Amino acid sequence: MKRDPIQDMSILIVDDSKANTTLLKAILNNEGFTCIDNSVNGENTIKKLEETKVDLILISSVLSHESGITLCSVISSDLRYEDIPILIVTADSKMQTLRKSFENGAIDYISKPINSVELIARVQAHLIRKQIMDERKTSAITDVLTKLYNRRYFDTVFDRQYNKALLEDKYLTFFMIDIDNFKKYNDNYGHQKGDEVLSSVSETMKSQLRRNGDYIFRLGGEEFSILLLDIPDNYCLKLSDAIHSAIYDLNIEHKLNENYGRISISIGVSKVKVNKSISKFDIYNSADSALYEAKKTGRAKSVFTKLG
């Protein structure tokens, strides 16, 4: 029998009672759900959300050292997790408790003692809804050809990461990337071949990103960008070298790319200690100037600069 796609979606159970967690897992496993993880407190929950993809969260309203409803508020107020449905698991079905749950970001609740039919029905309904919403969102924020995030989503993420870096006093690193002599490639090999290059280069660059929360975008034409929050200099250098090496290893012929004879890229990198005197435009222009310098001084290289 073919599996339902929602059975492969990931569920996180937040409960410090081993008995409760075991019961919820058993019911979900019996229905075919296999991607189930658990957490016992808020700190551990946030870490798991940062490190893994989660499609739905079941939070006990009462934890030993904190309120599950308060944790629900913390998660739902973070833009990174705003699309994850949160269900409060509670033995208190008083209207006041339920209202407080919904006001703090819960989308539904599961009453105790657990009724397996009710649990599965609610989980399935919210996973189906999330699957549909994810598909619509992906379509809206993804470049059709390369499957990378598009310029529209770049504007949204750039604002969000800039504000986060400003609030938390962190560095923001911005890569501007351009395929060298791409117009000459299109003119010589044709636009269909050019589209194939764009797809191959995009997939190759994306495969070099290792951390959750690292973003890559197609800004338009042969221009791309990567946005990284709070990374050390050595990570930045290693990523740049890995991207250049991976693109070179594609060995895509480009006779009109002088000195190289194959597809190559130029990169301008700006690492910024964000503060109120440095705007998003300053960051963008700094990386763009570094990219210009890379292309002017021979292409197929990276030029690095710092602000702040």
Q: Could you give the residue numbers annotated as active site?
A: 222
CA distances from 152 to 137, 157, 289 (A): 12, 9, 22
Q: What spatial distance separates the first Cα and last Cα of the chain, rounded to whole Å? A: 58
Handedness of CA 36, 42, 48, 53 (dihedral sign): positive
What strands, in cross-sheet order, belong to the sheet with 265-273? 215-220, 223-229, 171-179, 265-273, 302-307
Question: How far is it, in rounded angstroms, from Cα 163 to Cα 183?
Answer: 36
Query: What's the chain's Rg over C-alpha atoms?
Result: 23
Nearest to 250 by CA among 240, 260, 262: 262
CA distances from 169 to 90, 96, 157, 274 (A): 38, 39, 17, 7
4: left (phi over 0), alpha (psi -120 to 50) or beta: beta
